[in-house]
């Protein structure tokens, strides 16, 4: 159990038998009336996002979630295989659970694997990753960094929009949360 005053991003709550992770929260103290906590919760299994308001100081049930840093080894054709660096135990994770994270995962990359009662809930990648552009149309003379964007295919197969001046073979930093281009990496 935790108080609503202890809420923080990433905390997993058990509400009415379902697991919800806190995406964002805000403590509100209105001029009149009691304080409350406004939250945005994401259902761990379905991915549905809801807004929920709690009175300040109310007890909420937290779920015991084991988050471990694991190494992504390979895709065996159906599942993604991760290995615990401490115990060398390997687990298979279905593509439904990995979700969009698969677009930005390279072999031997580390990711956080969250488990509850032995079941994998979700995979969490670092906020940004560095990937190489496998293919993009060549830039034209006169293209500037302030210009538009063009599609580029990354080494993982994901397609993102990059500035016109980037070429095939360049390394770019990509935001794993929304797949947006952040910067070029030398």
Q: Give tens-digit pLDDT for 82-117.
A: 999 999 999 999 998 898 889 999 999 999 999 988
CATH number of the domain within which 151 lies? 2.40.50.140
Instruction: Examine the domain organization and report whether 117 and 133 are in the same domain.
Output: no
* Residue 167, pLDDT above cutoff 60: yes
CA dist 117 and 55 (Å) reads: 29
* Residue 165, pLDDT above cutoff 80: yes
SS3 annotation, 84-98 = ECCCCCEEEECHHHH
Q: Both ends of the chain: CA-CA distance in Å?
A: 47
Instruction: Examine the domain organization and report whether 24 and 73 are in the same domain.
Output: no
**pTM of this prediction?**
0.74
State the residue range of the domain holding 118. 66-124
> pLDDT (tens digit, 9 = 90+) per residue, 33-82?
999 999 999 998 888 999 999 999 999 999 988 889 999 999 998 999 99
Among the residue ranges 14-18, 33-37, 142-146, 175-179, the one predicted with the least confidence is 142-146
Which of 38, 60, 82 is the last residue in one of the domains? 60
SS3 annotation, 53-78 = EEECCCEECECCCEEEEEEEEEECCC
pLDDT of residue 79: 94
Instruction: Examine the domain organization and report whether 145 and 169 are in the same domain.
Output: yes
Instruction: Examine the domain organization and report whether 164 and 132 are in the same domain.
Output: yes
Instruction: Examine the domain organization and report whether 133 and 177 are in the same domain.
Output: yes
* Residue 144, pLDDT above cutoff 80: no
Cα angle for residues 41, 46, 49 (degrees, 5° grid): 25
Instruction: Examine the domain organization and report whether 42 and 77 are in the same domain.
Output: no
How many folded domains does the chain comprise? 3
Which of 84, 100, 124 is the last residue in one of the domains? 124
Q: Which two tokens stand for residue 168?
A: 């095939």
- Reported as a pLDDT band with limits 50, 70 and 90, residue 141 is low
Q: Are 174 and 180 in contact (CB under 8 A)?
A: yes
Which of 124, 148, 168 is the last residue in one of the domains? 124
């Amino acid at each position: 159990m935790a108080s609503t005053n202890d809420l923080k991003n990433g905390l997993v709550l058990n509400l009415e038998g379902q697991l919800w992770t806190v995406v964002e929260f805000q403590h509100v103290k209105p001029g009149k009336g009691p304080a409350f906590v406004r939250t945005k919760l994401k259902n761990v299994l379905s991915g549905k996002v809801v807004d929920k308001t709690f009175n300040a100081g109310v007890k909420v049930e937290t779920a015991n979630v084991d988050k471990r840093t694991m190494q992504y080894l390979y895709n065996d054709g159906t599942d993604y295989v991760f290995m615990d660096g401490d115990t060398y135990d390997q687990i298979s994770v279905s593509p439904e659970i990995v979700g969009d994270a698969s677009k930005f995962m390279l072999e031997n990359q580390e990711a956080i694997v969250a488990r509850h009662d032995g079941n994998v809930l979700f995979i969490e990648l670092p906020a940004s990753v560095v990937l190489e552009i496998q293919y993009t149309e060549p830039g034209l003379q006169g293209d500037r960094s302030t210009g538009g964007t063009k599609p580029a295919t990354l080494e993982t197969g994901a397609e993102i929009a990059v500035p016109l001046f980037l070429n095939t073979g360049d390394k770019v930093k990509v935001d794993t949360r929304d797949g947006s281009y952040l910067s070029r990496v030398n």
